[in-house]
Structure 1
Amino acid sequence: MATADQRPAANDVWLPIPPAEIDGLPAGLHYVHWDAGPDYPADPERCAFYAVPYMKDPETSLRPLSRMSRVRVVQTLTAGVDAVLPGLASMPAGARLCNARGLHDASTAELALTLILAALRDIPGFVRGQDAGEWRHGFRPALADKSVLIVGYGSIGSAIEDRLTPFECARVARVARTARDTVRGPVHPLSDLSALLPDADVVVLATPLTDTTRGLVGPGFLARMKDGALLVNVARGGVVDTKALLAELESGRLRAALDVTDPEPLPPGHPLWHAPGVLITPHVGGPSSAFLPRAKRLLRDQLTRFAAGEPLRNVVATAE
């Protein structure tokens, strides 16, 4: 059997975007294209840098990782890494897991604002009225003068506030894992949620899915929201207790606009599809025309750093 130092150098880079379509990739690395197809483009053992395919089944994307015995970097194209974390145990010691912080800020923030406006102004009702040939005139809530609470104030949460600024909100409050000050005002810790929820007309979830945030939006959280408030989830479905949310929706006390659900994909016949006061989009916060140019820039920057031996951006975990 060949010893480790007799094996060919591990310098393959697996990319979900054809390498020829990414300008400026550094020399000295061997680039292959794999987007979760049935066949591998090269021996996984020679992979040094693995860019995880985007919007693919997690089980498929993780499949080659157990054979990547010399991988040094696993780069996701998502801000959340919850789908990849189970593979951390199979990565060699010292391998780094990097997320795509910043890549989806613009697209996800756009969708968050779209969901807020569409739900408040009853765009789904107007579309149904158009389909039925009905003129559904009347007053609807505006975003102006509303109080908004953003739960999860990373780069996406900040980008959401950027887009709220022109809409004359009465107040924007911010919550994150730890308290800090920003040029816009304080970011409150999670422990302040109970006090902040009763004042919010709109609650936007933009937090990562972690052990701390899984099921965060449960019966107690929802009970603290004011009557008629709107819950917007562009984070992860698991942040919300679906059963508890359904109870509030079916009572008519709360409304929701959800880009992510638990379970996901939401199966046909699930009661959430037809719950009153809910607008659902199929996890499309990231996949827009803004994705590809930003994904290419991220990969080019990370690979340039990797080839030069410079510190990588967005390291969220290191295998032990």
Structure 2
Amino acid sequence: MASIDGLSAEDTGARADASSGPHDVWLPIPPDEIDGLPEGLNYVHWDAGPDYPADPARCVFYTAPYMKGAEPSVRPLPLMRNVRVVQTLTAGVEHMLPGLPQMPAGARLCNARGLHDASTAELALTLILASLRGVPDFVRGQDAGEWRAGFRPALADKSVLIVGYGSIGRAIEERLTPFECARVTRIARTARDTVRGPVLPLSELSALLPDADVVVLATPLTAETHGLVGRDFLARMKDGALLVNIARGGIVDTKALLAELESGRLRAALDVTDPEPLPPAHPLWHAPGVLITPHVGGPSSAFLPRAKRLLREQLALFADGEPLRNVIATAD
């Protein structure tokens, strides 16, 4: 069991005491490559290899390996009986939630909110522009030595609906601004006001779908959002609309999306799929009107320096007994 959100400073803070007891920090990046790590902690490098670099029982701060999958990331947790913080380098933490009951009471699970905003937003815009302007068809034409001229849709004057308006959703809107969209509508779990305009509640999503030319999914994968984009959702999208998913594959019902793509009514640009990785023979690869990238929103040249900065800042807070950032859950 775990309590989610609403944690006090007493809950989110933790003091590292190197003078007694365990004080190992496991990092998926070699510690000698991260400048400015706080003193008084023992840093070891582990990136999901078969052998552990030290006794897991001595680990107090564990950073899960990046892009190694759920099984190796969760594997050492049952042995980490003194761990106080589990830090991911991803915005989503669904791959770590199965390990939460194995964490000692009071241990915090923190995500990497903010780490991937710029890179993921760049990819979202790339997918939108490439899909609208027909870049995949031009590449196929180049491969075939064919000059495939003609009119294509522009992003200018289009209505964009962003489903999931956290830090990544905001970063996407910032990059949409110069492209003269007719309207950007923001949807999140709860309504609120922002400097860019109102964020509408998820309860209004159904009514907003028919007016959107582009629907961008940037919401976390939760029990509430799993399968959110199903047959009814897709049926409410306007003819010719583009669905862009840079969130998680499980948010979309793949079978329902395939039916719409094969009918030619909708188009899609997907950085994430369900299943993932997409098997070679899966029909989604060859569905009409779809552009697929292999979950590359986060891994870019922006990742490593920002990951190092996040770890340096979180470990400084941990060592000083200050409240940690990005606490998603705490183990009971």
- State if a TM-score over 0.5 links the two structures: yes
Q: What are the Cα deviations for residues 249-305 of structure 1, in whole angstroms up to 9, with x where unaligned?
A: 000000000000000000010000000000000000000000000000000000000
Please state how far the C-alpha of 1:66 moved relative to its aligned partner: 1.0
1:254 matched to 2:241: no
How far residue 130 of structure 1 moved from its aligned partner, in angstroms, is: 0.2
What percentage of residue pairs aligned between the two structures are identical?
84
| 1:68 aligned residue | 80
**After superposition, what is the alpha-carbon deviation per residue over 1:154-187, rounded to whole angstroms, capped at 9, x for unaligned?**
0000000000000000000000000000111110
Q: Give 4+ residue runs of structure 1 displaced > 3 Å after superposition.
A: none
Q: Quick one: which amino acid aligns to residue 157 of structure 1? A: G
State how far apart, in whole Å, the 2-side matches of 1:116 and 1:57 are.
Answer: 28
- Mapped to 2, the partners of 1:52 and 1:272 lie a distance apart of 31
State the partner residue of 1:189.
Answer: 201
Match of 1:134 among 100, 124, 146: 146
TM normalised by structure 1 equals 0.97
Distance (whole Å) between structure 1 residues aligned to residue 220 and residue 56 of structure 2: 29
- One-letter code of the match for 1:97? L
Cα distance between partner residues in 2 of 1:10 and 1:190: 44
User: Shift of residue 10 of structure 1?
Assistant: 1.4
Mapped to 2, the partners of 1:134 and 1:102 lie a distance apart of 42
Matched, 1:123 2:135: yes
CA positional deviation for 1:46: 0.4
Q: Structure 2: how far apart are the matches of 1:111 and 1:14?
A: 30
SS at match of 2:329: strand
> 1:99 offset after TM fit, Å?
0.2
Q: Map 1:1-320 to 2 at 5 A.
A: 9-320=21-332
Q: Secondary structure at the match of 2:187?
A: strand
**Structure-1 residue corresponding to 2:8:** none
Secondary structure of the equivalent of 2:256?
helix
Partner of 1:4: none
How many pairs align? 313
Q: Specify the code of the residue in structure 2 equivalent to 1:68.
A: M
* Aligned equivalents of 1:140, 1:54: Cα separation in 2: 38
Measured against aligned partners, the alpha-carbon deviations of 1:23-76 in whole angstroms (never above 9, x if no partner) come to 000000000000001110000000000000000021011110111011000000
What is the identity, as a one-letter code, of the residue corresponding to 1:223?
Answer: A
One-letter identity of the residue aligned with 2:122: E
Aligned partner of 1:250: which letter?
E
Letter in 2 for 1:100: A
Gaps of 5+ in 1: 1-7
Cα separation, 2, equivalents of 1:10 and 1:225: 54
Looking at structure 2, the residues matched to 225 and 188 of structure 1 have their Cα atoms a distance apart, in angstroms, of 18
- Give the TM-score normalised by structure 2: 0.94
Aligned counterpart, 2:17: none
Higher relative contact order (CA 8 A, sep 6+): 2
Counterpart AA for 1:182: T
Q: Secondary structure at the match of 1:317?
A: strand
2:192, 2:22 → 1: CA distance? 42
In structure 2, list runs of 5 or more residues that go unmatched: 1-19
Structural RMSD (CA): 0.5
